[in-house]
Chains A and B, each alone.
Chain A
Amino acid sequence: MKGLLRYAITRILMTIPMLFILLTIVFLVLRVMPGDPVSAMLGAHAPERVIEEKKEELGLNKPILVQYVNYLGQLARFDLGNSMVLKQRVSAPIKEKLPATIELTFWGMVFTLLIGVPLGAYAANKRRTGRDFGIRLYGNIAYCIPVYWMGLMLQLIFGVYLKWLPVAGRTSPRMLSSQFSKTGFYLFDTLLAGNMRAFNDVAIHLLLPSLTLGIVLSGIFVRLTRANMLDVLKSDYVLAARARGVSEKLVVYKHGLKNAFIPILTMLGLQFAILLAGAVLTETTFSWPGMGRLLMERIYLRDYPTVQGVIVVFALMVSVISLMVDLLYAAIDPRVKY
């Protein structure tokens, strides 16, 4: 346990340089490249004097190095600063939008695993048959589907033709989210409030976007599960289980899948980055009010501090997930010692 704690602390400390490097890159990209927030804010025809005053106010006339050091100092105090364009703290919109993105990615991941893992295990069991080949083909195709295109296709089928499911937003327009928004995770909030009508409304809004993410990402997991299952099914303990007369189903889906799941779990951390990128595209497709839409809006406004803030939060999310996966890995697999 002590070793695990030490490992956890080292891992947390290791994410600091990563955050620092990403921040530096984003800071430079935003500052060095053309386009500045002041003209985006005041319009191209604002008088020179007004522009200079605004730059002075925002600290944009200082040398880049000074701006950079100031920004890092601010971050060290866990302060993301103020928006350059709107009169608000950077943390304000992030607090509001982050739960939407987490809710979407969480259910996206659930669908991914629900689709990908059983299909991969089944394909491994039926290896070198027509069904195996078909599932592998599905995996390859799913991996190549642009997530926004999948979203639009599902919108077309379930929204436009069948009219079963809504295609935009987190709730219906007439549903007042103020009645239940406590944590920002609407599915959880509506349950807390005991408002079943709102819960259903939130659930059907969540269904298409998370299913979209799930289908597209399941391709990777089909392949991962299949490859790991093939390794596991060759091992001695599977042979031993078979020799004891354990039924084929139990061998594959209990003995096999349980052991194949550990490497799959480690991949989950890496795939989370892809999931986040997919979420940004899904959000723009489904008008989902999350971090991805926030990022896009503020990029157009040249709101540097908010864009940086969003990137910091994304980077933190990636680090936290990979940390959690590593710790879980250590907890599940008794052979792993730190």
Chain B
Amino acid sequence: MNSTVKAKYSPASFLGAFLKKISKANKTYGVEWWIMIAGIVIVLFMLFTAFFPQVLAPYLPGDQDAGTQLEAPSMQHLFGTDNLNRDIFSRVIYGSRTILGVAFAAAFLSSIIGIPLGLISGYAGGVFDRILSLVMDSIYSFPGLILAIAFAAMLGPGVVNITLAVSVIYIPTYFRLVRGQVLTLKEELYVEAARSIGAGDSAILFKYIFPNVIATVAIVFSLNIADAIMTEAALSYIGLGLPAGIPDWGMDISIGKSFLPSGVWWMITFPGLAIILLALGFTMLGEGLAEILNPRLLEK
């Protein structure tokens, strides 16, 4: 194969072009640029709390500070305490690890299944493509959360199970995105050129088409993590998530729900704000990227 063509579409040069585009974007896009920066800051902060919770959290998530049951926020307990004398601030900090872990793993899992299927289906076409598209469209059009509820209920609680339940519903997202792009990209001149110099199907697919899909996948991946965060939290809120003992925002909200009538606002408020902040971080990151890399994507 022609080495210059190969070099142009290598991952390293792609990354270079990507960074160049982003650094240029600073000048042309005002607000979008700052939205993305804000998103990055939020995501990095949350990643920090997930990896080093002990730096910020004064207690362990399971620590019970005797005699402080259902205490309102104070200097000792910034976010107050729950019904089991546990410090809610520490539980929120430690909870970021759980939800980020599940959301990342689920988004990763759905992308490594959805992307290759979309590539092959879009490239191959024919009956295989039609059937697969029909299956994916059916899942896509159905309320994802309800499907995830059915999966999670049957699999039972557990970190791996909830990750599987969340990942299943996002496979069609990647499939549809990648397939749609492949359908246009495979008609491009440079693909024809590659074919004319004797490149095989797998070379065309993975060396010429795939690198051009990555930018869009990056955007959708970020937005998808935001969605997966919401789904994970919803599943654990309705009691289908994780076994007791793992600090989890959705579950903490559902426990706090029973103390709401007596005016205990801190048990639900803070985990909820954490979910919003985290999902917002990934949404802003994704949307900032989208505006900069592919302004038309989100309008479709």
Interface set of A (CB-CB < 8 Å, partner B): 17-18, 21-22, 25-26, 29-30, 33-35, 128, 133, 140-141, 143-146, 148-149, 152-153, 155-156, 160-161, 223, 227, 231, 270, 273-274, 276-277, 280-281, 284-285, 295-296, 299-300, 307, 311, 314-315, 318-319, 322
Contacts and interface: CB of A to CB of B under 8 A. Distances in A.
B145 A277 contact: yes
B138 interface: yes
Contacts of B138: 17-18, 21-22
B238 interface: yes
A314 B269 contact: no
B283 A152 contact: no
A33 B155 CA distance: 6
Contacts, number: 129
A281 B237 contact: yes
Contacts of A17: 134, 138
Contacts of B234: 146, 148, 281
A144 B141 contact: no
A35 B139 contact: no
Given A22-B138, A152-B260, A314 B143 contact: yes
B299 A227 contact: yes
Given A223-B298, A299-B149, 15 more contacts: A17-B138, A21-B135, A25-B139, A35-B154, A140-B280, A149-B272, A152-B256, A152-B257, A160-B260, A273-B142, A276-B143, A276-B146, A280-B145, A311-B150, A319-B141
B279 interface: yes
28 contacts: A18-B134, A18-B137, A22-B139, A140-B283, A140-B287, A144-B226, A145-B272, A146-B230, A146-B253, A148-B253, A149-B268, A149-B276, A153-B269, A155-B260, A160-B261, A160-B263, A223-B298, A227-B298, A270-B141, A273-B144, A276-B143, A277-B143, A277-B144, A277-B146, A280-B149, A281-B234, A295-B146, A319-B141
Band of interface residues on B? 35 or more
Contact of A156 (B145, B151, B260): B260
Contacts of B149: 280, 295-296, 299
Contacts of B268: 149, 152-153, 156
Chain B: interface secondary structure? helix
A148 B144 CA distance: 16
A273 B230 CA distance: 15
Nearest to B135: A21
Interface of B: 31, 134-135, 137-139, 141-147, 149-151, 153-156, 226, 230, 233-234, 237-238, 250, 253, 256-257, 260-261, 263, 265, 268-269, 272, 275-276, 279-280, 283-284, 287, 298-299
Contacts of B154: 29-30, 33-35
A104 B230 CA distance: 21
Nearest to A157: B265
Contact of A144 (B238, B280, B299): B280
B277 to A, nearest CB: 8
Nearest to A128: B31
A35 B298 CA distance: 41
A162 to B, nearest CB: 12
Contacts of B298: 223, 227
Contacts of B276: 141, 144-146, 149
A270 B156 CA distance: 30
A293 to B, nearest CB: 10
Contacts of A285: 257
A29 B265 CA distance: 38
B253 A35 contact: no
A18 B139 CA distance: 8
Nearest to A276: B143
Nearest to B287: A140
Nearest to B269: A153
